[in-house]
Structure 1
């Protein structure tokens, strides 16, 4: 078996993986059919559900492909999507229509599966940047949660004082 045949066999094995099939379905429904934006309408829970959808991407990039830079990039896209989706008054839901984090994650993973040197090099070069952005995104998400809870408490006390 020559090098190209081995590469094609490896590619087929990766694409037949259950996690890969799940990622393909999630990408189709969440981004192409705008389910991400629709789920995001549910206050609080929508973003949590959307974040759960990244689990197969993280599993595949970390356990099947075994690439830390790819896993960091996948988490980066997912957390950016959550942060943007948390913007209140349906602004975040509209942004979710255009951000398409699952499509971006699938394209990066597909690049690794196909052995696309450009994608692999780009993801590997941005590994440190991804790690730093990941920390910043986690802090911003925590701040956004605090702000939304504070705003909700304020609205609740305002309504309660009226009655």
Structure 2
């Protein structure tokens, strides 16, 4: 089994061969790597994906990225992830989404945190431990509620940042 640092390189599948034999888990593996580790900055070992690129679009990019992460978590929950595992995954995505709303710092955080890939590693470890069988309905409701709350928080932070920037421009224009 790969170490967490080796797995964050995104160069190969993260899930085990048995897990990859299930079509929706194979899709989750590929999609997670596309979002977080598909591309490499030339001359470095730093990898990034569509999540980082979407984060460059103020406000809307982070919301879209959070929605895509939610789809991944819902798919993992549908395939047996336990409520505790889903909560850990939601925490990763929530942290990524909240920090991602902060201009520049959020983009740098996205470049290195890779919430979707971390969630994929959690899923692999959980399947290996065989503690993944639970009902999905409470999890799906928790995902929807959490995503709505996070989206609201992201909008509030984005509006606050825009107001702060506008205040700076107004203050500099009065001088």
TM-score between the two structures when normalised by the length of structure 2:
0.61
Listed as ranges, the matches of 1:82-161 within 5 Å are 82-88=97-103, 90-115=104-129, 138=149, 142-143=152-153, 145-153=155-163
1:36-63: per-residue Cα shift (whole Å, max 9, x none)?
A: 2111011111111111222343223322
Q: Which has the larger radius of gyration?
A: 1
Aligned to 1:30: 35
Distance in structure 1 (CA, Å) of the matches to 2:24 and 2:71: 6
1:42 alignment partner, SS class: coil
Report the RMSD for the aligned CA atoms in angstroms: 3.0
Q: Identify unmatched segments of 5+ residues in structure 2.
A: 1-16, 40-47, 133-141
Runs of 4 or more off by more than 4 Å in structure 1? 141-144, 153-159
In 1: Cα distance, 2:165 partner to 2:128 partner: 51
Mark the runs of 5 or more structure 1 residues left unpaired by the alignment.
Answer: 1-10, 121-130
Residue correspondences, number: 131
The residue number in structure 1 matching 2:73 is 58
Q: Which has the higher helix share?
A: 1
Query: In 1, distance between residues paired with 2:157 and 2:117?
Result: 29
